[in-house]
Amino acid sequence: MSIRFFLSLYAQYARMDLVWLLRDTRYCLIVMFSDLLTSLTAIAGVFLLAVRFENFSGMTSNEVLFMLSFLLVANGLREMFFMGSNVSHFSRRIGRGQLEHMFIQPLSFPSQLLTEGFLPFTGSSNLICGIILMRYSLSLLDIPTSTAFWLSLGIYLLLSNATILGVAYLFSTAAFYAPVACEEITSSVFDISTSLMSFPLSGMPIVIQASLLSILPTGLLGWFPCLALLGRPPLGLPGWYHLLFCAFLWLTATSLLRKGLRHYISIGINRYSQLGHRS
Amino acid sequence: MRQVITVSESLHIQAGKLVLMARLKAEERLRGGLAFLLMDVSLRLFAVVPLLFLWRGIFASGSASDLGLTLEQLLSYTLLSAILREQLLVQTPASEWLYQGLFLSLYQRPMGVFTQIVALTVGGWMPNLLLCSLPMALVGPLFGIRTLPVNSLFALSLLLSITVGFAIDLMFACLLIRMQRMSWIVTSIRRAVMTFFSGSLIPFAAFPWGIGDWMQYSPFGALAGAPLAIAVGSSQSKVLILSQLLWCIVLWPSLFHVFKHTRNQMMSYGG
């Protein structure tokens, strides 16, 4: 698959998203508003705590604002590229027995997953809001924003998304074996990650910090990248730790997905009645 | 020959049906096997630990002197919130069933729609209460965190909280019927609003500019903020309970009225 082919697929999904927006503008504006409200309420609590308490968990209120804006941009990117067709909530597609829809497409699984979630118009509200907030928070922080800084920022945003999606896909594999019980396991992953990722972890014991940078890597979604960008990476870890972790995470997730897929092909998942209702 | 059933027998039969429905729902959640449910439980357990350390860190820095809550109260608040998460933020299957087209099956049974929803929701709580809440409640004191409420009014407040929770959730279900295919939107708005405005994650006392003083009397504040504040020994327990009672009185008749005028717009698509 060439880059050009991928771009043509993205253009196709962008066109479909635009058509959806134009055909039912009221509905789409409500979707965009709800996405924005969800993200803002997720970060509002922590921001209010940062305002209330000086040096909140080892970070100033401006640094916390920068971290929250980073999370908003990262979430915005995830929504723009992976929100459509339940690409990020992959356990739903497995648990509902909808993987067959992918089998009949003349594209590889990775190609489909990388492109079909693209919503550049209806999925852009958080990204736009996050960019504005990040611009403001950077002006408050007064840190040098060189080309290297922007490049690092871009890489960390990619890694942040690779981390949350990696964890979501890792847990999604459970849906191959327990479709009903684990259909919504990715929602649990996103819920817990959303509730934890916005808290600065600097003031916590090292064991907790290390756990949140490895076992349940919510610290890698915003806290680690932001402190690395501010020039003081947590626990003295090098920046490439994040890259290494993502590589390990995706190797594990891919291996388990392959195993689960073999199970799916031999057993199948039948959740739909003849009326089209799901059991 | 016609069989005569006394009132007490009738009540007994009805109660039996409710228990059976609750059991069915509990068993449905366990259908995938205990191991897969434990995965969800372990995620929840793991999520509460950092929050407990966060509060300890804030108190250690000395910036929480004017909070109005001691560290012990704050830790107890956070742990109780995690233990009673499903009861404080009631989520019935009503919205999901509307989306999946299963809601109509409730009309095929000789029982009230709301009664069935309540029975099935309570049944769905049981596996997590046993596998997650009970162990957390037992382990908490070993780490110096009180999990027993200090005020006996907490039981009443929790009951009122659950009652308000059902009313709010079913109101959202009515909104979903009105908005038809906007299932995802209604669900995400509800989740966002309830997490932030209910005080389940961050106590109202920790908010700046006195925002929390107002939020605790809102219908969402009646869900988690009020019972948790009473559990850790708030001085305003009677006012908070009155506020919860008021929301019960306002919301339930409103719900019956709204549902009566909304149910004829219900559509079943299949999920």
What is the arithmetic mean of pLDDT over A200-221?
87
pLDDT for the residue numbered B166? 93
3-state secondary structure A230-253: CCCCHHHCCCHHHHHHHHHHHHHH
For A5, the token pair is 């082919």
Residues 194-233 of A with CB under 8 A from B: 195-196, 199, 201, 203-205, 208, 211-212, 215-216
Identify the closest residue of chain A to B270 by CA–CA distance: A277
Higher pLDDT among residues A65 and B101, named by residue: A65
Chain B, window 97-156: residues with a beta carbon less than 8 angstroms from a chain A beta carbon: 100-102
- Model confidence, pTM: 0.80
ipTM: 0.72
Asked whether residue A252 carries a pLDDT value surpassing 80, the answer given is yes
Cα angle at A209 between A203 and A214, to 5 degrees?
Answer: 165
Nearest CA in chain B to A98: B271
pLDDT at B171 (0 to 100)? 92
User: Which amino acid is located at B53 in the chain?
Assistant: F
| Three-class SS state of A278 | strand
pLDDT-derived band of residue B210, with 50, 70 and 90 as boundaries? Answer: confident
**Which residues, other chains included, contact A95 with Cβ-Cβ below 8 Å and sequence gap of 6+?**
A175, A179, A180, A182, A183, A184, A269, A271
Secondary structure of A256-275 as H, E, C letters: HHHHHHHHHHHHCCCCECCC
- Nearest Cα residue to B209 out of A217, A94, A211, A49: A49
Q: What is the average pLDDT across B237-257?
A: 94
Answer whether B89's CB lies under 8 Å from B195's CB: yes
DSSP line for B114-151:
HHHHHHHHHHHHHHHIIIIIHHHHHHGGGGT---S-SS
Task: With a cut of 80, say whether residue B267 has pLDDT above it.
Answer: no
| pLDDT, position B103 | 80
Decide if A267 touches B, using CB distance below 8 A: no
Q: B198: burial class by Cβ within 10 Å (0-12, 13-18, 19+)?
A: buried
Burial tier of A40 (Cβ tally within 10 Å: 0-12, 13-18, 19+): middle
CA–CA min distance A226, chain B (Å): 18
Helix (H, G, I), strand (E, B) or coil at A173: coil
Res B33: pLDDT: 65
**Residue B271 above 60 pLDDT?**
no
Which chain B residues touch A179 with a CB distance below 8 Å?
32
**Could you tell me which residue, A52 or A262, shows the higher pLDDT?**
A262
Mean pLDDT score, B5-14: 76
DSSP A94-158: HHTT-THHHHTSSS-HHHHHHHTT--TTTT-HHHHHHHHHHHHHHHHHT----HHHHHHHHHHHH
Q: What's the whole-number mean pLDDT along residues B193-204?
A: 84
The answer on pLDDT for B140 being more than 80 is yes
| pLDDT tier at B32, thresholds 50, 70, 90 | low
Average pLDDT for residues B25-40, to the nearest whole number? 69
Task: Check pLDDT > 60 for residue A33.
Answer: yes
Tens digits of residue pLDDT in B63-97: 777 777 888 998 999 999 989 988 998 988 888 78
Lowest mean pLDDT, pick from A220-229, A242-251, B190-199 = B190-199
Confidence band of A278 (pLDDT split at 50, 70, 90): low
Predicted pLDDT at B178 = 83
In contact, A175 and A95? CB cutoff 8 Å:
yes
Average pLDDT, stretch A67-71? 92
pLDDT at B270: 54
CA angle B134, B38, A241 (to 5 degrees): 115
* CA atoms of B104 and B94, how far apart (whole Å): 10
Higher pLDDT, A55 or A116: A116
**Per-residue DSSP letters for A35-77?**
HHHHHHHHHHHHHHHHHHSTTBTTB-HHHHHHHHHHHHHHHHH
With 60 as the cut, is the pLDDT of residue A107 above it?
yes
Q: Is the CB of B24 inside 8 Å of chain A's CB atoms?
A: no
Residue of A nearest to B55 (CA): A57
Closest-CA distance of chain B to residue A215, Å: 10
- B1: pLDDT strictly greater than 70: no
The pLDDT tens digits for A145-194 are 889 999 999 999 999 999 999 999 999 999 998 887 788 889 888 888 87
**A122 pLDDT tier (thresholds 50, 70, 90):** confident
The residue that leads in pLDDT, A40 or A257, is: A257
Say whether pLDDT at A31 is over 80. no
Distance separating alpha carbons of residues B115 and B98, to the nearest angstrom: 17
pLDDT at B165 over 70: yes
- Split at pLDDT 50, 70, 90, the class of A253 is very high
Residue B157 has pLDDT above 90, yes or no: yes
pLDDT at A38: 78
Residue A104, burial from CB neighbour count under 10 angstroms (0-12, 13-18, 19+): exposed
pLDDT for A164 equals 95
Is pLDDT above 90 for A126?
A: no
Mean pLDDT, residues B2-29: 76
Tell me the average pLDDT of chain A.
Answer: 87
